[in-house]
Amino acid sequence: QDGPQRKKRKSEVGEVDKQLDILAIGTAVGSILLYSTVKGELQSKLDGGHDSRVNCVRWHQDSCCLYSCSDDKHIVEWNTQTCKVKCKWKGDNSSVTCLCISPDGKMLLSAGRTIKLWDLETKEVYRHFTGHATSVSSLMFTTVKPMNESKPFDGITGLYFLSGAIHDRLLSVWYIRSDRKEKNAVMSFTVTDEPTFVDLTVSEVKEEPVKLAVVCRDGQLHLFEHILNGYCKKPLTPNSTIQIATPGNDGDSTPKPVPILAAAFCKDKQSLLLVYGNTLQPIIEKVSLNTTESHICLVRDVQKVLSLKTDAALTKVKTPVVNSDTKVLVPGIPGHSTSVKTPASGKEKKKNKRKPGETEESIEERLGALDIDVSKVKTSGGLPQTDSFAVLLVQGLESNDAEILNKVLNTKKDHIVKNTVARMPIHAVIPLLHELTKRLQGNPYSASLMVRWLKSVFTLHASYLSTLPDLIPQLGMLYQLMESRVKTLQKLSRLHGRLFILVTQVAASQRVQDVPEVNQTAKLVYEDDSSEEEGSDDEMIADKDSDENWDEDEEKEEQSGEQDMSVEKEVNGDSDLEPENESEEE
């Protein structure tokens, strides 16, 4: 800091005591900025404490003292008057993400994943707690005094504190005991999504319940009210849930959810400050609490506030003044060949209004003028295509039109069923299941068709259905139907098996009876009485018979010649010629 600024700082000692106007901002580079909200300017900068991004900054009750933690695993105690580090110590083996100072100012809670309670005088760990599986994002004390007032109070023993972590839908409550035995949470609060903002009313009297407001990432606000009096095994559900939605009057009839960004209790503990809408331009509203209703939906019209207005002076584009006679052609369909007609004179003015006698051109004629093949535009067959099936199905479910539903649900093609279910919006899944359940109770033919749709719905929308808290009561009728249908399946399967065996046996026995008796007498008998030579001669004769080029007369001569030759060979004893040699001689 420069000299004159330091003098100015000293002259404002009265204001500095309260420190209500100083905002401490941790940065990603490791420095901390002190910003004066009254002056609207940066007052000082704290450097040299952290090497990595600052995750959390907490003011001590002593206004000149500030605590910060970082990804560099350290906790730093700062003196904001001298802008120097008072003390620095290692807070965890991984990054420290959250801090909270005890009501009496003598203890400090720090958390990465595990939670530690530090004694600020000695900078030693006083207690260890199990913590969460992910990085802790919020820490705060829920009580100022212990519930058991018989024992003397040392400032910390007997107090409860709350912690929440990223990607964790449970907020845990921890109890600081006199002994070190118990390290686990004593109770937990369950919410619908990861908590992004938590506020509570501190319980000052024994019988006073703690009121807790938790804003989740899904834009809902959950309110809890519970008296902290020891261990509670079951996670506590919210007493009331608040959502904000648009009325959905103009243009779009469906109301849209408006996310709640933050919520804080007022001093009277009976009303809430809600911050909702757009992060660039949030709306802050005071709402009185009514926890008798379990679900409250506030209707707020925030469309006008959300629309960002652009200044006309910023744009350099000039919009030309278009005359009513001018015809503008827009680029669009390829092959668009329309002759551009220039206005002949100012006298001829084209009137848009039709004369009473003229008829309006049909769409087919218009498309013909644009050189579009009309046959391509028309869908083949009377049935609409798959992309419009989903639209038809939603329309039928909303209007409860039996004709439309029959047309869609009686489809037998599996790929059409699958595509339709995949393209239908999420909000129509439960009404479709109810409709399918109703139709399953009918005749077996329609039930067999409905099972295809059920299969597609359960396979494609299983992740959505598993998130619904009241899924089991909604599907109760379907479960009963399936159980009653499947109950007789085992008996029928056994009966089917037995009947199948009987029928096959009867059929087999009939087949055996129908087969005619086989005649055992041989149709052809061959007796081998001749010698080998004759056999070979016969083979040769057979070979020659098969040749188509020989005449019958020549064959007879050959046969007689062969017989003479065989007789001569037998007489001469020259019969050891091979068949091949015999054929060569021939």
pLDDT at position 5 over 50: no
Which residues are 118's β-sheet partners?
A: 108, 125
Tokens 């009377």 belong to 382
Say what the pLDDT of residue 380 is.
45
Least confident among 186-190, 283-287, 461-465: 461-465
**How many angstroms from the chain centroid is the CA of residue 212?**
29
Q: How far apart are CA 226 and CA 218, in angstroms?
A: 24
Q: Are 9 and 16 in contact (CB under 8 A)?
A: yes
pLDDT tens digits, 495-507: 999 999 999 999 9
Q: Which of 193-202, 308-317, 492-501, 544-553 has the weakest average pLDDT?
A: 544-553
Residues 381-391 have a mean pLDDT of: 63
- Return the DSSP state at 67: E
What does the angle CA 310 – CA 313 – CA 319 come to, to the nearest 5 degrees? 90
Residue 126 predicted with pLDDT over 60? yes
Question: How much is the average pLDDT of 35-45?
Answer: 91
Q: Is 429 inside any structural domain?
A: yes
Gap between the Cα atoms of 142 and 172, Å rounded: 11
Cβ contact 195:215 at 8 Å? yes
Segment 521-530 mean pLDDT: 79
Mean pLDDT over the full length of the chain? 78
Q: Does residue 458 belong to any structural domain of this protein? A: yes
**Mean pLDDT (whole number) for 559-577:** 54
Is the same domain home to 142 and 268?
A: yes
Give yes or no: residues 396 and 251 share one domain: no
Confidence of residue 528 (pLDDT cuts 50, 70, 90): confident
Same domain, 295 and 393: no
Does residue 270 sit within a domain? yes
Question: Which of 460, 487, 514 is the endpoint of a domain?
Answer: 487
What is residue 469's predicted lDDT score, i.e. its pLDDT? 85
**pLDDT(559) > 70:** no
> What's the pLDDT band for 219 if we cut at 50, 70, 90?
very high
> Is the pLDDT reported for residue 101 higher than 90?
yes
Answer whether 258's CB lies under 8 Å from 300's CB: yes
- The rounded Cα 542 to chain-centroid distance in angstroms is 85
Q: Which of 105, 15, 111 is nearest to 55 (CA)?
A: 111
Task: Provide the 3-class DSSP secondary structure of residue 419.
Answer: helix
Which residue from 65, 16, 73 is spatially nearest to 43, judged by alpha carbons? 16
Give the pLDDT score at 332: 54
Distance CA 328, CA 188 (A): 66
Domains held by the chain: number: 2
Q: Which residue has the higher pLDDT, 8 or 42?
A: 42
pLDDT of residue 57: 95
Q: Can you give the pLDDT at residue 574?
A: 52
Instruction: Tell me which of 487, 522, 556 is where a domain ends.
Output: 487
- Confidence bin at 346 (pLDDT 50/70/90): very low
pLDDT of residue 87: 94
More confident residue, 355 or 474: 474
- Report yes or no on 325 lying in a domain: no
Same domain, 283 and 393: no
Distance CA 566, CA 395 (A): 104
**Nearest of 184, 95, 96, 173 to residue 140 by alpha carbon:** 173
Confidence of residue 178 (pLDDT cuts 50, 70, 90): confident
> Could you tell me the maximum CA-CA distance found in the chain, to the nearest angstrom?
158
91 close to 73: Cβ distance less than 8 angstroms: yes
Q: Over 60: is that where the pLDDT of 157 sits?
A: yes
Averaged pLDDT for residues 144-173: 86
Same-domain status, 162 and 273: yes
**pLDDT value of position 222:** 94
Confidence (pLDDT) at 300: 86
Rounded Cα gap, residues 542 and 558, in angstroms: 13
- The least confident of 182-191, 518-527, 536-545 is 536-545
Query: Are 281 and 176 within one domain?
Result: yes
Whether 171 and 291 share a structural domain: yes
Q: How many CB atoms lie within 10 A of CB 54?
A: 24
Domain boundary (299, 326, 341) is at 299
Looking at residue 465, its pLDDT comes to 87
Q: How far, in Å, CA of 386 to CA of 370, rounded?
A: 27
- 552 has pLDDT over 80: no
What distances in angstroms separate CA 3 from CA 114, 176, 498, one per listed residue? 44, 47, 104
Domain assignment present for 275: yes
Confidence band, pLDDT 50/70/90 cuts, at residue 304:
low
- Could you give the 3-state DSSP secondary structure of residue 214? strand
CA angle 17, 23, 26 (to 5 degrees): 130
Q: What is the pLDDT of residue 348?
A: 45
Strand 187-190: give its sheet, edge to edge: 136-141, 160-165, 170-175, 187-190
pLDDT in tens, 237-252: 999 999 999 887 766 6
State whether 288 and 413 are in the same domain: no
**pLDDT score at 199:** 94
Q: Above 90 in pLDDT, residue 373?
A: no
Coarse DSSP helix, strand, coil percentages of the chain, rounded to the nearest 5 percent: 30, 25, 45
The mean-pLDDT minimum among 66-75, 85-94, 136-145, 286-295 falls in 286-295
Q: pLDDT higher for 147 or 77?
A: 77
Residue 226 maps to a domain: yes
Would you state the pLDDT for residue 68? 95
Q: Among candidates 197, 113, 129, which has minimal Cα distance to 161?
A: 129
pLDDT at position 11 over 60: no
Distance CA 297, CA 575 (A): 121
Give the H/E segment covering residue 285. Answer: strand 282-288
- List Cβ neighbours of 474 (8 Å cut-off, separation of 6 or more): 430, 433, 434, 468
Query: What is the C-alpha separation between 497 and 501, in angstroms, rounded?
Result: 6
Which pLDDT value is given to residue 350?
47
At residue 557, the pLDDT reads 56
Can you give the pLDDT at residue 388? 78
Query: Order of strands, edge to edge, in the sheet holding 41-46?
Result: 22-26, 32-36, 41-46
Q: What is the pLDDT of residues 450-464, one digit of tens each?
A: 888 988 998 988 888
Domain shared by 176 and 285, yes or no: yes
Span between the terminal Cα atoms of the chain, in Å: 133
Residue 92 maps to a domain: no
Strand-by-strand arrangement of the 282-288 sheet: 260-265, 271-277, 282-288
C-beta atoms surrounding 569 within 10 Å? 15
What is the spatial distance between Cα 274 and Cα 103, in angstroms, rounded to a whole number?
A: 26
CB 367 within 8 A of CB 376: no
Task: Report the C-alpha gap between 161 and 170 in whole angstroms.
Answer: 14
Residue 279 is assigned to a structural domain of this protein: yes
Q: What is the DSSP letter of 361?
A: P
Residues 261 and 398 in one domain: no
* H helix count then E strand count, the chain: 17, 24
Share of the chain above pLDDT 90, in %: 30
What whole-number distance in Å separates Cα of residue 115 and Cα of residue 125?
A: 10
**CA 51 to CA 53: how far, in whole Å?**
7
pLDDT at 424 over 80: yes
Same domain? 285 vs 166: yes
Percentage, residues of the chain above pLDDT 70: 72
- Lowest-pLDDT range of 1-15, 109-123, 485-499: 1-15
Is residue 431 over pLDDT 70? yes
State which residues form the domain around 410. Answer: 389-487
Write the secondary structure of 397-411 as one string of H (helix), E (strand) and C (coil). Answer: HHHCCHHHHHHHHCC
User: Quick one: pLDDT at residue 484?
Assistant: 82
H/E element holding 439? helix 429-440
